[in-house]
Structure 1
Amino acid sequence: MVNTEFGRTVRRWRDRVTPEAVGLPGGGTRRAAGLRREELALLAGISVDYVTRLEQGRAAHPSEQVVEALGRALRLSGAEREHLFQVAGLVPPGRGTVPAHITPGVHRLVDRLSGTPVAVYDAAWTLLLANPLYAALLGDPSGWRGNERNGVWRNFVGPGSRVRHTPRERRAFEATLVADLRATASRYPTDRRLGQLIEDLCANSVRFAELWESGAVARHDASRKIIDHPQVGAVTLDCDVLSVAGGDLRIMVYTAEPGTEDAERVALLGVLGTQALVE
Structure 2
Amino acid sequence: MERHEFGAAVRHLRESTDPSGVGLPVGGRRVPGLRREELGELAGMSADYVRRLEQGRSHPSAGVVKAIARAMRVGRADYERLSALAGYAAADGQVPTDLGPGATRLLERFSDTPMIVTDAAMNVVAVNSGFLALEHWDLTGERWEWNVAWRIFCHPFAAFQQSDADAADHETIQVAQLRAALLRYPGDASLAAMVDEMRTRSRRFDTLWRAPRPVAAYESSATFTQSDGDSLTLVENLIAIPGDDLAAVMLTAEPGSRDAARLVEVVGAADERAVVKVGQTGPG
TM-score grouping bracket, smaller chain normalisation = 0.5 to 0.7
| Matching residue of 2:211 | 214
| Matching residue of 1:117 | 114
Deviation of 1:162 after TM superposition, in Å, equals: 3.6
CA distance in 1, matches of 2:265, 2:96: 34
| Matching residue of 2:224 | 227
Please provide the CA RMSD for this pair: 2.9
Do residues 166 (structure 1) and 169 (structure 2) align? no
Higher Rg of the two aligned structures: 2
What is the total number of aligned residue pairs between the two structures?
183
Do residues 191 (structure 1) and 181 (structure 2) align? no
Pick one of 121, 124, 140 that aligns with 1:127.
Answer: 124
Letter in structure 2 aligned against 1:266: L
Letter in structure 2 aligned against 1:139: H
* Structure number with higher relative contact order (C-alpha < 8 Å, ≥ 6 residues apart): 2
TM normalised by structure 2 equals 0.56
| Matching residue of 2:200 | 203
CA distance in 2, matches of 1:233, 1:261: 12
- 1:177/1:142 Cα in 2 relative to 1: closer, same or farther (>3 Å)? closer
Q: Is the 8 A contact 2:116 2:131 kept in 1?
A: yes
| Matching residue of 1:107 | 104
Q: Is the 8 A contact 1:138 1:161 kept in 2?
A: no
Deviation of 1:176 after TM superposition, in Å, equals: 3.6
Letter in structure 2 aligned against 1:175: T
Q: Is the 8 A contact 2:136 2:160 kept in 1?
A: no
TM normalised by structure 1 equals 0.57
Pick one of 239, 243, 261 that aligns with 2:240.
Answer: 243
* 1:145-164 → structure 2 map (5 Å cutoff): 146-160=143-157, 162-164=159-161
Gaps of 5+ in 2: 1-75, 77-89, 272-284
| Matching residue of 1:136 | 133
Q: Percent same amino acid at aligned positions?
A: 30
Q: Is the 8 A contact 2:139 2:145 kept in 1?
A: no
CA distance in 1, matches of 2:246, 2:257: 31
Q: Is the 8 A contact 1:179 1:219 kept in 2?
A: no
SS of the residue corresponding to residue 249 of structure 2 reads: strand
- 1:143/1:271 Cα in 2 relative to 1: closer, same or farther (>3 Å)? farther
Gaps of 5+ in 1: 1-77, 79-92, 275-279
